Amino acid sequence: MSDTRLLILFYSTYGTNHEMAECAAGAAREAGADVRLRRVRETAPQEVIDAQDAWKAQIERMKDIPEAAPDDMEWASAYLFSAPTRFSLMPSQMQAFFDTLGPLWQKGVMANKVASAMTSSQSQHGGQETTLMHLHATLIHWGCVITAPGYTDEVMFELGNPYGATAIAGEVNDTVRGAIRHQTRRMIGMADKLAG
């Protein structure tokens, strides 16, 4: 049994990062962690969303997942973020949520908590590593203990990315799921060690 309270926070336009987050939630529960799955609030104009059936459908699929709030950040003892790449950066929706956390950062709420990140892109070299490093930069400012998967399991050599689990949009295959499960278990193990 784990004492870790894991917040899995994601943003997903068409479903890839939602699927990745659900995979991580399953792995975390199997590892005995207490899990909160949360999505960041959509900030795109409704008329833009309504013009794309796939985007509208994904919002419908996520309607029962609560939107993230600052108290989720306080509750958690570890964080796993999943967001697609936007020109090698995190999407503005994720950044907008992070921008609300200044008061918590000033109180040191996120400091010394284990954190890790995942991403997806349209192509294999579509900015995945730089997006993860961009997410890591925020975690560094918060004082989190970044727990990337590294090459600590054979599946990470197959995936080829030590910074975090990554996927091509719409292709959460067995290798990606294996990397997500490994990354999730690794960070829960590290969080339990820190708490011990």
Number of structural domains the chain divides into? 1
Rg (alpha carbons) of the chain, rounded to whole number: 16
Give the pLDDT of the chain (196 residues) as one tens digit per residue.
Answer: 889 999 999 999 999 999 999 999 999 999 999 999 999 999 999 999 999 999 999 999 999 999 999 999 999 999 999 999 999 999 999 999 999 999 999 999 999 999 999 999 998 878 999 999 999 999 999 999 999 999 999 999 999 999 999 999 999 999 999 999 999 999 999 999 998 7
Q: What is the domain extent for residue 53?
A: 5-195
Instruction: Output the pTM of the full model.
Output: 0.96
Report the DSSP pairing between strands 78-84 and 114-121.
parallel
Q: Token pair of 40, please?
A: 């960041």
CATH number at residue 80: 3.40.50.360
